[in-house]
């Protein structure tokens, strides 16, 4: 991308699940994990969990300085990616540009919020590397989301996407899923596509900085707890049972394609 968790057995993840019950009906927790970026640079990733609101968030700064946040709203089955991208002031851009991509959250993409809230870390100075690299996902974001109505989809949109009021995107197939759940369809607006505008090009091929085009933005979540690990124990009578004993970590990249009214809003997407 360019410039846009008796005694537990030893586990390779170096994070383990505390087995003590949650302190009350809900819990909040925050972890800071050091992770290595593709170019070798080490950065710090923040992970937060709130089992009361049934959500988690992850945040890291990429090698090009962009601040990337993933918010998973399990209650509403919504996943929100936000990118704060440093602007190119010498090319007439503002100090930073904000984008929000909203997609459906599927089961088993990431560990539950109550499990995340129980995570405790060993060796905080260790640089983590994901155990599993999941395939790149290429998504066509062909629908815009109205910020003022977005709270009906997920209450987190109001805070997470506040800087990206005019740049919140989703997919038509995800919209159909949410409409079936009773979400108000008036918050969605289908964006122009190549079929509507025959001259619409990809921004990297568009010579005119002020023409509309299809922008592409890539991001990667370098380390996140994607699965629970289970260990087996045997009681005095020989009965075998399983229990949560840790997590498996994953890395996953995403590329989002979406319409912009002018290439000036997509200067990172150029041929090199």
**Which tens digits make up the pLDDT trace of 161-191?**
999 999 999 999 999 999 999 999 999 999 9
Q: Would you state the pLDDT for residue 242?
A: 78
Q: Which uninterrupted H or E stretch holds 226?
A: strand 213-234
Give 7's pLDDT tier (boundaries 50, 70, 90). very low
pLDDT at residue 18 above 70?
A: no
Q: How far, in Å, CA of 112 to CA of 126, rounded? A: 24
Most confident of 106-120, 178-192, 222-236: 178-192
Which parts of 74-162 are beta strand (E)? Answer: 78-86, 96-104, 119-121, 127-128, 132-141, 143-145
pLDDT at residue 1 above 50?
A: no
Give 159's pLDDT tier (boundaries 50, 70, 90). very high
pLDDT in tens, 40-86: 889 999 999 998 999 999 999 998 889 999 999 999 999 999 999 98
Beta-bridge partner residues of 246:
229
Give 89's pLDDT tier (boundaries 50, 70, 90). low
Q: How far, in Å, CA of 209 to CA of 188, rounded? A: 27
Distance of CA 104 to the CA centre of its chain: 11
More confident residue, 242 or 84: 84
Q: How far, in Å, CA of 35 to CA of 45, rounded? A: 7
Contact indicator for 128, 34 with CB cutoff of 8 Å: yes
Mean pLDDT, residues 136-143 taken together:
96
Q: How far, in Å, CA of 188 to CA of 1, rounded? A: 28
Q: Would you state the pLDDT for residue 3?
A: 39
Burial 47-72 (b: 16+ CB within 10 A, else e): bbbbbeebbbbbbbbbeeebebbbbb
Q: Domain residues of the chain, as ranges?
A: 28-265
Q: Which uninterrupted H or E stretch holds 131?
A: none
Cα–Cα distances in angstroms (integers) from residue 255 to residues 121, 139, 159, 190, 219, in the given order: 31, 6, 23, 19, 7
pLDDT at residue 223 above 80?
A: yes
pLDDT at residue 23 above 90?
A: no
Q: How far, in Å, CA of 156 to CA of 141, rounded? A: 19
pLDDT at residue 8 above 50?
A: no
Mean pLDDT, residues 85-93 taken together:
71
Mean pLDDT, residues 203-228 taken together:
93
pLDDT in tens, 118-134: 887 777 788 988 999 99
Q: What is the mean pLDDT of the chain?
A: 85
């Amino acid at each position: 991308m360019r410039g846009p968790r008796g005694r537990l057995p030893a586990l390779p993840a170096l994070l383990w699940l505390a087995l003590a019950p949650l302190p009350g009906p809900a819990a909040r927790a925050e972890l800071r994990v050091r992770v290595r970026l593709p170019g070798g640079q080490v950065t710090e990733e923040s992970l937060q969990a709130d089992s009361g609101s049934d959500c988690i968030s992850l945040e890291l700064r990429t090698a090009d300085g962009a601040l990337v946040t993933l918010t998973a709203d399990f209650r509403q089955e919504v996943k929100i990616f936000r990118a704060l991208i440093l602007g190119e002031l010498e090319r007439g851009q503002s100090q930073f540009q904000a984008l929000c991509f909203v997609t459906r959250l599927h089961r088993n993409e990431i560990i539950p919020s109550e499990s995340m809230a129980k995570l405790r870390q060993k060796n905080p100075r260790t640089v983590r590397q994901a155990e599993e690299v999941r395939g790149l996902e290429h998504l066509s974001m062909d629908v815009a989301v109205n910020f003022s109505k977005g709270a009906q989809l997920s209450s987190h949109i109001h805070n997470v996407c506040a800087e990206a009021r005019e740049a919140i995107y989703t997919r038509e197939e995800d919209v159909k899923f949410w409409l079936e759940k009773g979400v108000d369809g008036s918050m969605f607006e289908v964006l122009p596509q190549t079929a509507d505008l025959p001259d619409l090009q990809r921004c990297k091929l568009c010579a005119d900085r002020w023409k509309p085009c299809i922008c592409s933005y890539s991001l990667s979540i370098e380390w996140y707890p994607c699965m629970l690990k289970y260990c087996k124990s045997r009681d005095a009578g020989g009965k075998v049972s399983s229990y949560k004993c840790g997590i498996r970590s994953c890395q996953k990249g995403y590329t989002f394609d979406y319409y912009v009214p002018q290439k000036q809003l997509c200067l990172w997407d150029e041929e090199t």
